[in-house]
Chain A
Amino acid sequence: MRNHFKIMLSAILLGYCGSVAKAESELLQRVRADYAALSQAMTEFDRARTAGELGAAEEVDFIGWVEQLVQQVHQGCRALELESDEPVPVDLPCDKFIVGSPEPIGIDISAERSREENTAAMLDQLHSALSKFDEQLLQEQEKIKAQTPRDDSAHEVASAQESMGEAGEAESAAAESEQTDSERAETDAATQASGEEGDEEGDEQKEQHTASGAQSTIGSPDQSESRGIPDDVPDGSDDDVVARQLREAAEKETDPELKKKLWEEYKRYKAGTG
């Protein structure tokens, strides 16, 4: 009876140990399989990239697959370390996968990306930062505009027009630069970012074009009689650069209120310099 009990106990213990060993073995096998797949994937990736066989989309897929395998090996190694007191077999370089971060030492994924990929990602980041900055400046300008009284002198109206012009020019230059051939050759992401920026620029340019379009119609020689020069305005023969600019702006302005203010500013300026 006592012998039977011993035999049963031994069997249970053996069974338990066996099941633990089996589970550990399965985990080990899985990690080995993952590691083998990772090594194979990396070898194949290097070969295909060197041979120029990879398209952009395929390359991204490949990198994703390698990253997934690295994660699996890392998790497997971590589980092995936790569940077993035995050292990890030497053919499995778990120490490289566990120490520090989950990223394997010696396998830098970003380095494995193509240079163009990296550049594109960073350009995307730069464009996005520039867009955010533009938004911030726009908000600040709105704030400033809100602080400026509406009935301010025509001088400020003229200044505002001038700065709008400058901003437009700057944006146009930026847009031109953004849309050159070599920039266009950059990645889809960068192009998208540029596009977004371009849309904003486009909107601003539209506003500017609307204003200048109106000016060109009024400023045409056929309609010079309808310039609406007030009687008390001097003939302008002795105008300096600033006075001439003010006069031209006043002559070309279509908004009667703004036109009046510009003429007042012109007269004030002439009185001050005369």
Chain B
Amino acid sequence: MGRVQTLQSRYRVNLIVQILRNLFTALIVGVLIAGCATTNVSRSVPPEVTLDKAITELPEEQLLDVWIELFDPGELPEKEKEALGLYPEIRAAEARFMPAHLRQVMEKTGYWGAVRVVPRDTEGAEVLVGGVIKVSDGKTLEIEITAQDATGRRWFKRRYAHNINDVGNKPKNQDEDSFEPVYYDIANDLAEFRTSLTDEELTRVRQIAEMRFAADMLPDGFGDHLQMDDQGNYMLVRLPAEDDPAYRRVQIIRDRDFQLIDTLNGYYENFYRDLEIPYQEWRKARNIEAEALREAKRKAASRKALGALAILGAIAIEVLGSSNTRATTRTARDVMILGGAYSIKKGMDISSESNIHRAAIEELGESFVSEARPLVIEVEGETLELKGSAEAQYKQWRELMRKIYASETGLEPVARGTY
């Protein structure tokens, strides 16, 4: 009988140990899942990406000009905790900052002619790069990039993502943008596609860009120099004579167009320069706070779980244990209950610490918004005003060009909008 009791007692102790083991395993798995779930990114840019640069100086006629449109700011995360401290004003600033940074990176490569940032829907690019900000929270950057050339050929549409908290992703150079690999990767992909084009194709891109501008400026004279296929790609039908006076006038106006783009870039450069330090600091500080918040949450959760586990263990021994077990583990159970309670309290304290980090993240966001908003308003106002004024001028020039052409050739002007 005594043996049976001993066996029963052993069985109960084993049962308790088994329950505790399962609970602990579940806890560990839970903590790990919670920790890993936030670091998942669909396509990751490796940290070791280096910028691909032209080994030799490329001939001028092979250099394509690149216009990078202001990015689409995208949507803020729907979940409140993910959107903490992020504001549309910050995205608006990033939508102007990121293309300016990409421009600087691309200029270092030696693969391109002029690389310029342009307002969205600006016509006339040889290569047009656009971007949509999918995620940008100081820790992760995910951008969707599209690139196409003047012929209408789509180069690619890709998503680039980088998480600076991933192992090995911390920038080695303090001055370097934390997300430099993303920009390098984009620049490398663009350079790779450009390199895949033949000299003839490169020339054709430049010619078509020029003829599209000419056709836009003077449809009567140059509208029929291009044709569009059913897929929306432009094909060159013929080129104007070098000494064609109307064509020369178009070229003069195109020079003005380039100067306008350069001037707009002056504003974007100033904006970039003014925002660079506050933006980097905000990203860095937000990431530190967000990391601290995550850490605090993890700690609080594990403390609470361990505390609960200890109390549950003590209760389980009390309920399931034999009188002998209860007697021998009394002190241990007391320690488990007290320790568990203390651990839960500690967990709650850490939870309240999380609130401090949460408030800090919000405050950082608000503070950065107060810095970025006036800069965005200023650059937007200046560029819109200049572009609007230029568009009014272009309209006038188009009309004059049309009349001059009709007067020179004696041909009746074609109704507007036919091209």
Give the residues in chain A near B249, CB-CB below 8 Å.
Answer: 126, 177
Which B241-267 residues sit within 8 Å CB-CB of chain A? 243, 245, 248-249, 251-253, 255-256, 258-260, 262-263, 266-267
Contact B262 A163 (CB under 8 A): yes
Contact A141 B389 (CB under 8 A): no
Contact A241 B53 (CB under 8 A): yes
Q: Which residue of chain B has the shortest Cβ distance to A125 in the bound complex?
A: B400
Q: Which residue of chain B has the shortest Cβ distance to A115 in the bound complex?
A: B407
Contact A173 B255 (CB under 8 A): yes
CB distance from B243 to the nearest CB of A (A): 7
The count of residues in chain A whose C-beta lies closer than 8 Å to any C-beta of chain B is: 40
Q: Which of B55, B263, B403 contacts A140 (CB 8 A)?
A: B263
Contact B262 A133 (CB under 8 A): no
Given the interface pairs A115-B410, A144-B263, A242-B53, the reply to whether A129 lies near B255 with Cβ below 8 Å is no
CB distance from A222 to the nearest CB of B (A): 26
CB distance from A210 to the nearest CB of B (A): 21
Q: Which residue of chain A has the shortest Cβ distance to B393 in the bound complex?
A: A133
Contact A178 B252 (CB under 8 A): yes
Residues 169-181 of B, flagged 1 when their CB comes within 8 A of A and 0 if not, give 0000101100000
CB distance from A117 to the nearest CB of B (A): 9
A118 at interface, CB cutoff 8 A: yes
Q: In the assembly, what is the distance between CA of A145 and CA of B263, in Å?
A: 10
A255 at interface, CB cutoff 8 A: no
Which A248-269 residues sit within 8 Å CB-CB of chain B? 269
Give the residues in chain B near A163, CB-CB below 8 Å.
Answer: 262
A83 at interface, CB cutoff 8 A: no
Which B205-262 residues sit within 8 Å CB-CB of chain A? 243, 245, 248-249, 251-253, 255-256, 258-260, 262
Contact B108 A242 (CB under 8 A): yes
CB distance from B104 to the nearest CB of A (A): 9
Contact B262 A241 (CB under 8 A): no
Q: In the assembly, what is the distance between CA of A144 and CA of B252, in Å?
A: 24
Give the residues in chain A near B260, CB-CB below 8 Å.
Answer: 137
Give the residues in chain B near A167, CB-CB below 8 Å.
Answer: 259, 262
Q: Which residue of chain B has the shortest Cβ distance to A155 in the bound complex?
A: B104
CB distance from B46 to the nearest CB of A (A): 19
Contact A118 B407 (CB under 8 A): yes
Contact A137 B259 (CB under 8 A): yes
Which B296-320 residues sit within 8 Å CB-CB of chain A? none
Contact B259 A129 (CB under 8 A): no
Given the interface pairs A130-B252, A173-B255, A183-B245, the reply to whether A119 lies near B270 with Cβ below 8 Å is no
Q: Which residue of chain B has the shortest Cβ distance to A172 in the bound complex?
A: B255
CB distance from B110 to the nearest CB of A (A): 4
Q: In the assembly, what is the distance between CA of A269 and CA of B258, in Å?
A: 28
Residues 120-164 of A, flagged 1 when their CB comes within 8 A of B and 0 if not, give 001101100110011011001100110110001000100100010
16 further A-B pairs in the complex, CB-CB below 8 A; given A125-B400, A144-B270, A241-B56: A122-B400, A122-B407, A126-B404, A129-B393, A130-B252, A130-B256, A133-B390, A137-B256, A152-B273, A166-B262, A174-B255, A180-B248, A182-B245, A183-B248, A241-B53, A241-B54
Tell me the B residues contacting A by CB distance below 8 Å.
51, 53-57, 107-108, 110, 114, 173, 175-176, 243, 245, 248-249, 251-253, 255-256, 258-260, 262-263, 266-267, 269-270, 273, 386, 389-390, 393, 396-397, 400-401, 403-404, 407-408, 410
Enumerate 5 A-B pairs (CB-CB under 8 Å) in ascending A order.
Answer: A125-B400, A130-B397, A140-B386, A173-B255, A180-B243
